Structure 1
Amino acid sequence: GVEVPSLPAIDNSWAEMKARIDKTIDFLKGLKADQLDGREDQQVTITAGGQPRNFRAQNYLYHFAMPNFYFHTTTAYNILRSLGVEIGKRDFMGPMPS
């Protein structure tokens, strides 16, 4: 498996949140395909609601990690729009590949 970097539980400032995002992006960019290929059935354990939760790696990705990512991205996007930030669908979706 891949050892996930430790991140602080609480980020109090924009600078801390930006640093956390940058650290996460650097980690993801450093992953190699052979670190992930063939590990669909590997056991993944997370803590949710104070309780350990076990998943097959593929189920964790498709049924927990990705839905949570899109839920929180959409929520942040909607909060920003409700506060008057002028962002649109293209800002959410990013550039469309051809």
Structure 2
Amino acid sequence: MTISMYQASVPVFLRALNNLGNVLAAGAAHAEARKIDPLVLLGSRLYPDMFPFSRQVQIACDMVKGGAARLAAIDPPPKADTEKTFAELIERIEWTSAFLRGFEAAQIDGSEDRPIVMKTPFGELNFTGQSYLTGFVLPNLYFHSATAYNILRHSGVELSKSHFIGKP
């Protein structure tokens, strides 16, 4: 049995975003219960040269938004990085999830060998659809989602592995 590009992308992206949203909700509840300024958590980072929590969430959303769009051979819609609260970051996750739910399997299936070229500040990156999904989008999604989780966990938010992985 094989797995399609759609099955390996959009449902996986949606699950990760849902779980990330649950992590954010736990962070917001923690800040409120402990009377912590939410901006402290949103600006927290694991090390000074790393992005803060809020940017980790934005990048995770951008990865899957761009990932699905490029696999479907469309341009990803722009989304400004203006979120300053937990509620705004949760809204961004919801916006991204709605965008992903708009894809049909037929738009993404068959994209395994589709050339994908990304222009970055570090140069041009060339992929096939499959290498883009498995070697770029998914690792970045999980890296930034795990980093967001770890920032909140390090800050004392009571999170468990099930917050990150979700329930089956």
TM-score range, shorter chain: 0.7 to 0.9
Q: 1:92 to 1:22 in 2, by over 3 A?
A: same
Higher relative contact order (CA 8 A, sep 6+): 2
Q: CA RMSD in A?
A: 1.6
Higher helix fraction: Structure 1 or Structure 2? Answer: 2
Q: 1:58 to 1:20 in 2, by over 3 A?
A: same
| Whole-angstrom CA distance in 2 between matches of 1:11 and 1:51 | 26
- Could you list the runs of 5+ residues in structure 1 that have no partner in the other structure? none
1:66 partner letter = L
Matched length: 95
Q: Give the alignment partner of residue 133 of structure 2, picking from 38, 54, 61.
A: 61
Q: Percent identity?
A: 41
Q: Give the alignment partner of residue 82 of structure 2, picking from 3, 8, 11.
A: 11
* CA drift at 1:52: 2.2
Paired residues for 1:1-98 under 5 Å: 1-8=73-80, 10-14=81-85, 15-96=87-168
* CA drift at 1:62: 0.2
- Could you list the runs of 5+ residues in structure 2 that have no partner in the other structure? 1-72
Partner deviation per Cα, 1:16-47 (whole Å, 9 max, x = no partner): 43333222111110100000111111111223
Higher strand fraction: Structure 1 or Structure 2? Answer: 1
| Whole-angstrom CA distance in 2 between matches of 1:56 and 1:13 | 35
Runs of 4+ in 1 over 6 A off after TM superposition: none
* CA drift at 1:12: 4.1
